Structure 1
């Protein structure tokens, strides 16, 4: 899709709302395979990566299917807000561009995880097929529209940190939503 008809200097809605669509397709893979993969692979991961803190393994073992789905829903709200803010700003929003960058970088993390375990990890199929290509395409559209903010190494680190923080927050929300009533 080319630039929007209303304003030729504004990327079209596929660039901004496409983030939510690409995220939903990617996270469908994670919902379908994530919790089961974790349950089946934590013992192997513990052996292969003994230097990882015990708290990491306990946190992974604690996530059940219901909590995982709720966390994905919470993250969907975060991504949806970023996409909507991006659409309202014509792609100029720092929140939207940061979410886009974080999304693309998190796709690279999925690929690194698959390389580290020498096999499939949840998210590693859709990362090279959807996450990374969409991010590069959307950034290209933003660049051509003249609204892409310069990206520095510090921005990449910030994007990954924000994505990790959003994931932690989504799981914290999900844990509260799915906790047994007291």
Structure 2
């Protein structure tokens, strides 16, 4: 019996795998970011003098509580798009865009590590969790016939939304912690 692509089922490993892969990746970041920033902002300041001083001050002031809160906010967003993906059999544009953003986010971590010429938070799990999961999930969506055609603007949207979600999660975390 031959199967048409649309006969394939997108199982929960694809849609619910996104928050699992995200959690593994963010555990690395939770463990590494605050200390890594404290140790490396002076090096980064010298290496990248064009970056505004306000960026370095904000990076130095990021504490573990704020970063953990931001990770929690982002986790809520990832869970929501994954639920949309599960409810639609992977057809959700929000889910597919988030999946693209997640994979590209992993590539951005690898580019950061290359620019830094060493380890940066997130660069250990990106080549073994983030990028492989995103590619695998996209292949499963493609085989099931539900992956929308990928255009450069879709990838730019995915990366842009990942960046916007990061900024939003840190903004919400700062506001939540300033109230406590």
* TM-score, normalised relative to structure 2: 0.94
Q: Which residue of 2 aligns with 1:96?
A: 95
Task: Report the CA distance between 1:173 and its aligned residue.
Answer: 0.7
Task: Report the CA distance between 1:10 and its aligned residue.
Answer: 3.0
Alignment check: 8 A CA contact 1:10 1:91 kept: no
Task: Report the CA distance between 1:50 and its aligned residue.
Answer: 0.5
Q: Which residue of 2 aligns with 1:123?
A: 122
Q: Which residue of 1 aligns with 2:132?
A: 133
Secondary structure, aligned partner of 2:148: coil
Q: How many pairs were matched up?
A: 175
Q: What is the distance in 1 between the residues matched to 2:37 and 2:151?
A: 34
Q: What is the distance in 1 between the residues matched to 2:85 and 2:26?
A: 20
Q: What is the distance in 2 between the residues matched to 1:94 and 1:38?
A: 35
Stretches of structure 2 lacking an aligned partner (at least 5 in a row): 1-5
Secondary structure, aligned partner of 2:16: helix
Deviation beyond 2 Å, 4+ runs, structure 1: 7-10
Q: Which residue of 2 aligns with 1:68?
A: 67
Stretches of structure 1 lacking an aligned partner (at least 5 in a row): 1-6
Task: Report the CA distance between 1:153 and its aligned residue.
Answer: 1.1
Q: What is the distance in 2 between the residues matched to 1:35 and 1:8?
A: 47
Q: What is the distance in 2 between the residues matched to 1:62 and 1:22?
A: 28
User: How do residues 16-27 of structure 1 correspond to structure 2 at under 5 angstroms?
Assistant: 16-27=15-26
Q: Which residue of 2 aligns with 1:3?
A: none
Q: What is the distance in 1 between the residues matched to 2:177 and 2:106?
A: 27
* TM-score, normalised relative to structure 1: 0.93
User: How do residues 1-182 of structure 1 correspond to structure 2 at under 5 angstroms?
Assistant: 8-179=7-178, 181=180
Q: What is the distance in 2 between the residues matched to 1:104 and 1:85?
A: 18
Query: Cα RMSD (Å) of the superposition?
Result: 1.2
